[in-house]
Amino acid sequence: MANPKRIMILHLLREGEKTVHELEAETGIPQPNLSQHLSFLRQQGLVKTRREGNSIYYSLADTRIAEACDLIQQAIKDRLKEMQQIIYG
């Protein structure tokens, strides 16, 4: 789960459901690799899918995932700020 590309995908899905093509355009991850990441996230229960015609839409499986992403992001920002204060005084 610590893969930065998967975290990026989860972050983008906070905005709402997206197709593989939309995610590919926004992330720059090649479609075969993106599909592998989405499959992993789906197997872990973090992402769910919905089919409409030929398109598969991906979305977060639970709103708490977005909240967890926010907490992790804030913790990283706080840690970086602490490190900058140590380095630069």
Alpha carbons 5 and 38: distance in angstroms, whole number: 10
pLDDT above 80 (res 12): yes
CATH of domain 4-88: 1.10.10.10
79 is written with which tokens?
A: 């840690």
**Distance between start and end Cα atoms, the chain:** 34
Alpha carbons 48 and 59: distance in angstroms, whole number: 6
Phi/psi at 76 (nearest 5 deg)? -65, -45
Confidence of residue 1 (pLDDT cuts 50, 70, 90): low
So what's the pLDDT on residue 3? 85
pLDDT tens track for 36-88: 999 999 999 999 999 999 999 999 999 999 888 888 888 888 999 999 999 99
Domain limits, the chain: 4-88
